[in-house]
Amino acid sequence: MHETTTLLVEVGALLFLLGLLGRLSRRFGVSPIPLYLLAGLAFGHGGVLELNASEEFFAVGAEIGVILLLVMLGLEYSANELVGNLRSAAPAGLIDALLNALPGFAFALLLGWGWVAAVVLAGITWISSSGVIAKVLNDLGRVGNRETPVVLSVLVIEDLAMALYLPLVTAMLAGAGLVKGGISLGVAVSAVAVVLVVAIRYGKVISTAMSAKDPEALLLGVLGLTLLVAGIAAKLQVSAAVGAFLVGIALSGPVAHHATELLSPLRDLFAAVFFVFFGLVTDPRDMPPVLLPALALAVVTMGTKLLTGYLAARRVGIAEPGRWRAGFALMPRGEFSIVIAGLAVAAGTVDPRLAALATAYVLITVVTGPMLARLPDMGWFKAWLRRRAVVRPPEPVAATD
């Protein structure tokens, strides 16, 4: 009983604080994400006041938060839109991998950590945070923007690529042979293919099985299906985020519309929990020794993400402001980067400083990324774009911004 009471006190106090921080951030017109992270750092390992009883609750809540963020994004788009966007964004996905994985790979080699650590750090710098970016797009009211499908396509390609990367890097860290690694990879690829086919071909059947007229049944059905598919996907070494996104894609019509309304409050609650948990498990005392290398790596790879988004949006004819919005939106790294670093450190085959470097790196991008994402909406930035358009001849575009 005592543990339960302590849990209620800690969770209640922290959620109340998050409510105050959220209100404060909106009053000043900034994203609440950095404030949520700082709250987690203040009350996590090595913080001002350590909250131990509630850590498990926030760990589970963080997983649910990422899943809800992605299913809500999936509800905004149809299966046909997803397939079309993935086809058009495939070249951008290749550019994304080259521009953002290579700096991490080279950085680890420069530090003398070996090629295994180089492969791990390449994954950490490559993958953007679907959870953070989904929250930023929602906070800034950009979910319906023309460049948003481009951003989502890049994220989905990255998450699908993780289905191939994670089994391989896990086998490599464990020193497993080629056969075992190949089996893990085959299972992951098959799982992605099955979930994708079911979402695209049988989405209408799934929607028909749910009633938009009964809010309680719809909420329980959509939430249960999302968690079930995400859990199965994760069990098969596929991203739970990909599974949740594809559930959202599969639902359509009135069911999707009403599910969006019902899930929005839950998404906001658990998204805040996700960012707090990230701070709770980070010990601020590990940061100082690796802060400068992490900052240098962040500056380089935030620049390469900006270039990735800009080029991806330009390929499909998005106008200049949308290209910049796409680039800035892709900057934050997050959940996958931490997962990859955790796998490496748990295996004990890489330099232990990699975990602290990854955490500092992710924190820098997660704090500064949402702030920088607001730049294209500022008056001085728009004025600079107008001056730039006058100097340069106009480019032919296939879509308006």
CA–CA separation, 217 and 199 (whole Å): 21
Q: In this structure, what DSSP letter does residue 377 have?
A: G
Confidence (pLDDT) at 401: 46
Q: How many of the other CB atoms lie within 10 Å of CB of 209?
A: 10
> Cβ distance 374 to 136 under 8 Å?
no
Q: In this structure, what DSSP letter does residue 400 have?
A: -
**For residue 107, what are the domain limits?**
55-391
Please indicate, yes or no, if residue 42 is contained in any of the structural domains.
no
Count the domains in the chain.
Answer: 1
- Which among 182, 171, 130, 175 has a CA at the least distance from the CA of 153? 130
Please indicate, yes or no, if residue 242 is contained in any of the structural domains.
yes
List the structure tokens of 265: 């409050």
Confidence (pLDDT) at 274: 79
CA–CA separation, 313 and 195 (whole Å): 27
Contacts of 100 (CB under 8 A, 6+ apart): 125, 126, 301, 304, 305, 308
Please indicate, yes or no, if residue 39 is contained in any of the structural domains.
no
CA–CA separation, 360 and 197 (whole Å): 38
> Cβ distance 184 to 167 under 8 Å?
yes
How far is the CA of 234 from the CAs of 181, 243, 345, in angstroms?
17, 8, 20
Please indicate, yes or no, if residue 274 is contained in any of the structural domains.
yes
Helix runs in 111-129, H state only: 114-126
Please indicate, yes or no, if residue 384 is contained in any of the structural domains.
yes
- Which among 128, 136, 152 has a CA at the least distance from the CA of 33? 136
Contacts of 333 (CB under 8 A, 6+ apart): 124, 125, 127, 128, 129, 301, 361, 362, 365, 366
Query: For the residues of 278-334, what is the DSSP string, one character each?
Result: HHHT--GGGSGGGHHHHHHHHHHHHHHHHHHHHHHHHHTT--HHHHHHHHHHT----
The CATH number of whichever domain residue 297 belongs to comes to: 1.20.1530.20
Confidence (pLDDT) at 376: 92
CA–CA separation, 260 and 251 (whole Å): 11
- Give the containing element (helix H, strand E) for 1: none
Please indicate, yes or no, if residue 233 is contained in any of the structural domains.
yes
How far is the CA of 274 from the CAs of 32, 135, 397, in angstroms?
12, 11, 38
CA–CA separation, 374 and 364 (whole Å): 16
Sign of the torsion formed by the C-alpha atoms of 366, 368, 374 and 376? negative
Stretches in the chain below the pLDDT threshold 70? 1-2, 29-31, 77-86, 163, 167, 174-185, 187-189, 191-192, 195-196, 199, 237-239, 335, 346, 391-401
Contacts of 361 (CB under 8 A, 6+ apart): 124, 125, 294, 297, 298, 333, 337
Residue-wise pLDDT tens digits, 28-86: 766 677 788 788 888 877 777 777 777 788 888 888 887 887 788 778 766 666 666 66
Q: In this structure, what DSSP letter does residue 284 have?
A: G
Residue-wise pLDDT tens digits, 283-334: 777 778 889 999 999 999 999 999 999 999 998 889 999 999 999 999 998 7
CA–CA separation, 310 and 329 (whole Å): 10
Sign of the torsion formed by the C-alpha atoms of 71, 157, 188 and 238? negative
Confidence (pLDDT) at 400: 45
Contacts of 279 (CB under 8 A, 6+ apart): 36, 37, 38, 39, 40, 41, 42, 43, 44
Please indicate, yes or no, if residue 93 is contained in any of the structural domains.
yes
> Cβ distance 57 to 255 under 8 Å?
no
Dump strand ranges (E) for 204-359.
none
CA–CA separation, 255 and 247 (whole Å): 12
Please indicate, yes or no, if residue 218 is contained in any of the structural domains.
yes
DSSP-based three-state secondary structure for 176: coil
The answer to whether the predicted template modeling score (pTM) of the entire model surpasses 0.75 is: no
Confidence (pLDDT) at 366: 85
